[in-house]
């Protein structure tokens, strides 16, 4: 089990190196010269001399491999360069926007788990009951509604018509309700569906039959045996969908004027503030990689069969 953990942790290194390579290569794909973009953003008249100086400052006159090595070095020191627009270090700008995004993401994740675990569980256990039909309808429409539109529909009904929640901004718990619901609905759709399918599959397994023949109460089998195994694909889904959650925050933050990292990233795209764009892609990729790692470790803890299987293979 120990070696499996170490191997799994080592396996994220190449992915991380690839992410760094992509962000370094990105600048060279850009139709706009970063030095020029910087000068435009800072309202400085570009002359050949200043351009050359800036290019040297950014390290763009070095060979690509050296740029790559420098990028990795800087990333390890959390140095993402200086924002072209505000002229402050990118990391300082980003770090005080991350808590707002985290609040939103965790809020909706909590909501999604809170709704989808009981819903998916009962839908699977009582197949073709009313609750099952409801869950299927919800997971179908939840996956088909564009979240930017859903956000405005919620604003229209709950803020404009009923005046229950504020339209935009951050602060009290009321501010958190509509954005979290908007962000959570696609997740609820997906997790409910995953858990339902997984429970239906597990009901066919021999261990359920065995538990029944041993005379264990149906309720105990459902709650203690099936749920524990059936929840495993949902945890994988949780990790796999962190990316969806991240991109979801971009849209939801824009709809509800939520002062988070996602909205800052969109502003950066409009301002062609390249260091911030790079920083976002890297942070998002790292979060994604780390969450996948965590999911694997949690899964190993829940379902010991995984690490044993891995051990036999190697």
Partner 1 sequence: MITSIRRILIGQKVIPICTIILGILFIITMLAPLIAPNDPIAVNLAYKLQPPSWEFPLGTDHLGRCNLSRLLFGGRISLGFAMLIFISSLTIGLIIGTFSGYKGGWVDQVLMRFCDGVMAFPSLILILGLVGIFGPGLQQVILALMLVQWVYYARMFRGMVLSLKEQNFIAAAKISGSSQWKIIKNHIIPNVLPPLVVMGTLEMGWAIMDISAMSFLGLGVQPPTPEWGAMIHEGKSYIRTNPELMLYPGLMIMLVIVTFNLLGEALSERYGVKRRS
Provide the binding-site residues for partner 1, judged by CB under 8 A. 15, 18-19, 22-23, 26-27, 29-32, 130, 133, 140-141, 143-149, 152-153, 155-156, 160, 190, 194, 237, 240, 242-244, 246-247, 250-251, 254-255, 265-266, 268-270, 272, 274, 277, 280-281, 284-285, 288-289
**DSSP calls for 77-123:** TT---B-TTT-SBHHHHHHTTHHHHHHHHHHHHHHHHHHHHHHHHHH
SS3 313: helix
**DSSP symbols for 257-289:** T--SHHHHHHHHHHHT-HHHHHHHHHHHHHHHH
C-beta of 215: minimal distance to partner 1 in Å?
Answer: 35
**Please, which residue, 193 or 221, has the CB nearer to partner 1?**
193
Distance CA 196, CA 119 (A): 8
Tell me 29's DSSP state.
Answer: H
Q: Tell me the three state secondary structure of residue 133.
A: helix
Closest CB 284 distance from partner 1, rounded Å: 5
Cβ 15 to partner 1 shortest distance, Å = 5
Minimum distance, C-beta of residue 214 to partner 1, in the bound complex (Å)? 34
- Which residues share a beta bridge with 89? 82
If the CB atoms of residues 222 and 265 are measured against partner 1, the closer one turns out to be 265
Residue matched to tokens 């790559």: 68
* Between 107 and 239, CB nearer to partner 1: 239
Q: Which is nearer to partner 1, 130 or 214 (CB)?
A: 130
Q: Which is nearer to partner 1, 30 or 47 (CB)?
A: 30
Name the residue nearer to partner 1 (CB basis): 91 or 148: 148
Task: Rank residues 216 and 271 by Cβ distance to partner 1 and give the closer one.
Answer: 271
Structure tokens at 58: 């950014």
Indicate the residue among 145 and 216 with the shorter CB distance to partner 1: 145
Closest CA to 187 of 122, 123, 251, 105: 105
| Shortest distance, position 269 Cβ to partner 1, whole Å | 4
User: At closest approach, how far in Å is the CB of 285 from partner 1?
Assistant: 5
* CA separation for the pair 170, 162 (Å, rounded): 19
Nearest to 241 by CA among 175, 135, 124, 143: 143
Is the separation of the CB atoms in 151 and 168 below 8 Å?
A: no
Distance in Å, CB of 281 to partner 1, minimum? 4
Q: Which is nearer to partner 1, 222 or 291 (CB)?
A: 291
- Tell me the sheet residues that pair with 82: 89
- In the bound complex, what is the minimum distance in angstroms from residue 305's beta carbon to partner 1? 21
Q: How far is the CB of 232 from partner 1 (least distance, A)?
A: 14
CA pair distance 267, 263, nearest whole angstrom: 6
CA distance 122 to 226: 12
Q: DSSP assignment, residue 128?
A: T
């Amino acid at each position: 089990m120990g070696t499996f953990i170490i191997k799994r942790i080592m396996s994220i290194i190449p992915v991380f190196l690839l992410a760094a390579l992509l962000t370094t290569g990105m600048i060279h794909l850009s139709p706009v010269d970063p030095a020029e973009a910087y000068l435009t953003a800072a309202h400085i008249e570009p002359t050949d001399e200043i351009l050359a100086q800036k290019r040297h400052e950014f390290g763009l006159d070095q060979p690509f491999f050296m740029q790559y090595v420098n990028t990795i070095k800087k990333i390890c020191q959390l140095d993402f360069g200086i924002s072209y627009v505000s002229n402050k270090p990118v990391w300082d700008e980003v770090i005080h926007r991350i808590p707002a995004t985290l609040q939103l993401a965790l809020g909706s994740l909590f909501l999604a788990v809170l709704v989808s675990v009981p819903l998916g569980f009962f839908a699977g256990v009582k197949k073709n009951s009313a609750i099952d039909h409801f869950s299927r309808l919800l997971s179908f429409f939840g996956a088909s509604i564009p979240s930017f539109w859903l956000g405005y529909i919620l604003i229209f009904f709950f803020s404009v018509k009923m005046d229950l929640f504020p339209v935009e901004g951050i602060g009290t718990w009321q501010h958190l309700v509509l954005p979290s619901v908007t962000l959570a609905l696609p997740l609820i759709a997906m997790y409910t569906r995953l858990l339902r399918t997984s429970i239906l599959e597990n009901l066919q397994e021999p261990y359920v039959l065995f538990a029944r023949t041993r005379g264990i109460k149906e309720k105990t089998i459902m709650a203690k045996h099936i749920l524990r195994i059936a929840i495993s694909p949902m945890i994988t889904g949780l990790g796999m969908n962190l990316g969806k959650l991240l991109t979801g925050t971009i849209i939801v933050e824009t709809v509800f004027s939520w002062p988070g990292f996602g909205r800052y990233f969109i502003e950066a795209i409009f301002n062609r503030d390249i260091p911030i764009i790079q920083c976002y892609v890297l942070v998002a990729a790292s979060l994604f990689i780390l969450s996948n790692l965590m999911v694997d470790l949690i899964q190993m803890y829940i379902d010991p069969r995984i690490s044993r299987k891995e051990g036999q293979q190697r």
